[in-house]
Amino acid sequence: MNTDKLDKVGSRLLRRWSTTYAGALLAIGGCAAAATFLPAAAQVTQGVPLRVGIVDNYLPCSDTTANGFEGFSIEIWRRVSERLNQPYSLVSLPSFSAAVDRAADGSVDLVASCHRITAARVQRVEFSVPYTQDSLAILSRKRGAVDLGLLERLASDRAFILSLSFLLVTSFAAAVLVGRLEHGFRELSGFKESDRSHLVKAWIMLLIGAGVDKFLHKSLRAYIVILTATLARLLFISILVGTVTGLILEVRRPVEASKLRKSELEAILRDGLAVNEGTKMHDWVLARIKQYGINPHAGIGLIPVLKEGSIGQLLNSGMASHALSDISALNSIRRSLENPGAYFISVQKASKTPQAFVFGRDLGPETKRLINAEIARMNYNGDTQRLSSIWRK
């Protein structure tokens, strides 16, 4: 009997203990699940501050100033780091190529500048989610517009060459026919009997459409020839004017970078072309120079720069008439020039390349994931677009 009572008491205690223990396990599991599904902004990244590299002298993306650092990319990073509660320290880097090197060897944990995502770079480093894009362009002094190919384009335009040829030929043929019908122009006013240049004079008059009334004498057939030549002249001159106007407008529009001709690039180099050293634009122009077999030091030549404000100083001083960079960087440079209206975008790449942060070799996968999630959120919410408008990126 006593044994039965003890068994019942033991059973009740066991049930109570099991219930309490199971509840504790569920509570612990619930807390773990809640922690797992916390939003990224609530998860504090622990550890030492990240070493964040900043490419100097590349506004509107990034720049080092007397008061610290500024730029579109830096604003993106500051917002990401605030959302993640991620401490960091900023390090100034001289160029984009140097920044890739530092990320690849682990000297920095992240590079917060507008790095173009290219095949060569992807083989060396890992990029974040892109947050902007840009295209290569050349800023030129307006007085050099004709040097960028108008005459060469006219000489190679088939419509222009054919129209000019037909105009010359039909005017000359009409002059010959009128000369035969009017007895060698001897009886026409303005044509002296001793003048041996009757044919040339008649040709020029028919070509420019001036003084043709002097041909009108007795021959009806001469009238028909002159009328036909005049109508032909009007037709071909209309084609010539339309062609020249179209080519002038085309020259004023930016030339597609992939279609930039050897003669055009040579003309740019003769005037002086400034470019930020260690950028993909620098690599691009060096590749084109090599492709065309051009001497990069012919004339003023190619001028790579690293110092802040150097491109603007070169343009203002006249030491360079052209600058190669991202179009957003060129627009920023143009606004800082003494005479911004004297410059225009003469060459531009039609396609735009995505730009992003560069992850350092030793940055952890969880930190990368959180950074990418924050950039994706900013893209989706329009935050990156708003910042881009503020910085005129």
Q: Give me the DSSP letters along 262-278.
A: HHHHHHHHHH-EEEETT
Residue with tokens 């072309």: 273
| Predicted local distance difference test score (pLDDT) of residue 147 | 45
The confidence score (pLDDT) of residue 211 equals 64
The pLDDT of residue 328: 92
Residue type (1 letter), 60: P
What per-residue confidence (pLDDT) applies to 166? 87
Residues 264 and 275: their CA atoms lie apart, in Å, by 17
Q: What is the pLDDT of residue 16?
A: 47
Q: In whole angstroms, give the CA distance from residue 265 to residue 154.
A: 18
pLDDT in tens, 13-32: 334 434 443 344 333 344 33
Cα–Cα distance, 146 to 143 (Å, whole number): 7
Looking at residue 232, its pLDDT comes to: 86
C-alpha–C-alpha distance, residues 234 and 226, integer Å: 12
- What pLDDT, in 10s, does the model give residues 244-275? 777 766 656 788 999 999 999 999 999 999 99
347 pairs with which residues across the strands? 138, 255
Q: What pLDDT is attached to residue 217?
A: 58
Residues of the chain with pLDDT under 70: 1-47, 143-150, 182-197, 211-219, 248-252, 308
C-alpha to C-alpha distance for 357 and 126, rounded to whole angstroms:
9
Question: Which pLDDT value is given to residue 25?
Answer: 33
CA dihedral for 133, 289, 98, 334, sign (positive or negative): negative
Which DSSP state fits 45? P
